[in-house]
């Protein structure tokens, strides 16, 4: 609505982008008719918006996993399934499992290192790891840990000198795994922290680069107590 009020968007343009009839969009914009969940996701997608853009900050705070801030000093981060986070540039409302809050000062300090085009990707998203993934990287994380992923850091450049980055990696079956990553010829070597778990080898397709498989760098690990 703000974009329409400012003249940056029209109901006709939105109808063309979504494939909906203009009358349908007009009724929706005038609050005379609602959209289905799938329809709303389509509107969000064509406008490159997140479900968080539709929520009042007070409502976001109600759903957040920590107490609301006294000032606007926190940023909302969506938690979704690992497979969704690995493949979806924007997280649709139907895939939002939870909303977490992180300090804006912390997020702004984090350095980017983008390989390829990630401009349209929500930068920060979060996942919860299962038992196998958690134990494969023990003691750096545990089953049930919440991981904050920076999807604008998908290069193999070390974040800190002499320290290996921990990455979320999209595998060929579209699943997502958490590992240290090295490149050998045209393969990605996925190494666990826990030596009881096997090293995995991911063969890259012709023309692909590591950044096409790296979802992002793990920049925060949290555990509920």
- How far apart are the C-alpha atoms of 143 and 40, rounded to whole Å? 34
pLDDT in tens, the chain (225 residues): 455 555 555 656 666 766 676 666 565 656 656 666 566 666 666 656 665 555 555 555 555 555 554 556 999 999 999 999 999 999 998 999 999 999 999 999 999 999 998 988 999 999 999 999 999 999 999 999 999 999 999 999 999 999 999 999 998 887 899 999 999 999 999 999 999 999 999 999 999 999 999 999 999 999 875
Q: Are residues 42 and 55 in the same domain?
A: no
Q: Are residues 43 and 55 in the same domain?
A: no
The pLDDT of residue 172: 81
Does residue 139 have a cis peptide bond before it, meaning omega lies within 30 degrees of 0? yes
The pLDDT of residue 1: 46
Q: Are residues 19 and 73 in the same domain?
A: no
- How far apart are the C-alpha atoms of 204 and 132, rounded to whole Å? 24
Task: Please give the helix or strand (H or E) that residue 16 lies within, else none.
Answer: helix 11-18
User: How many domains are there within the chain?
Assistant: 2
- How far apart are the C-alpha atoms of 156 and 183, rounded to whole Å? 8
Q: Are residues 13 and 94 in the same domain?
A: no
Question: Strand (E) positions, the chain?
Answer: 74-79, 98-103, 124-128, 146-150, 167-170, 176-184, 187-191, 200-203, 214-222
Q: Give the CA angle between residues 47, 109, 212 to the nearest 5°.
A: 55
- How far apart are the C-alpha atoms of 162 and 180, rounded to whole Å? 13
CB 94 within 8 A of CB 40: no
Q: Are residues 2 and 103 in the same domain?
A: no
Beta-bridge partners for 150? 124, 217
Q: Are residues 42 and 68 in the same domain?
A: no
Domain that includes residue 190, residue range? 51-222
- Which of 47, 69, 84 is the endpoint of a domain? 47
């Amino acid at each position: 609505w703000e974009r329409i009020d400012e003249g940056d968007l029209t109901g006709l343009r939105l109808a063309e982008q979504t494939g909906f009839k203009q009358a349908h969009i007009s009724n929706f914009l005038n609050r005379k008719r609602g959209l289905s969940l799938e329809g709303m996701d389509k509107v969000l997608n064509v406008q490159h918006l997140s479900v968080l853009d539709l929520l009042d900050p007070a409502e976001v705070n109600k759903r957040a996993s920590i107490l609301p801030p006294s000032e606007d000093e926190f940023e909302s981060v969506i938690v979704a399934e690992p497979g969704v986070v690995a493949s979806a540039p924007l997280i649709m409302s139907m895939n939002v499992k939870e909303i977490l809050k992180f300090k804006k000062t912390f997020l702004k300090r984090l350095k980017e290192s983008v390989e390829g085009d990630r401009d349209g990707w929500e930068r920060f998203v979060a996942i919860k790891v299962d038992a196998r993934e958690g134990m494969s990287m023990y003691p750096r994380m545990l089953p049930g840990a919440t991981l904050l992923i920076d999807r604008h850091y998908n290069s193999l450049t070390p974040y800190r000198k002499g320290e290996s980055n921990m990455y979320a990696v999209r595998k060929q079956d579209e699943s997502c795994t958490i590992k240290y990553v090295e490149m050998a010829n045209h393969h990605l070597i996925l190494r666990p922290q826990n030596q009881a778990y096997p090293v995995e080898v991911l063969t890259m397709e012709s023309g692909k680069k590591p950044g096409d498989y790296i979802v992002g760098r793990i920049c925060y690990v949290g555990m509920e107590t």
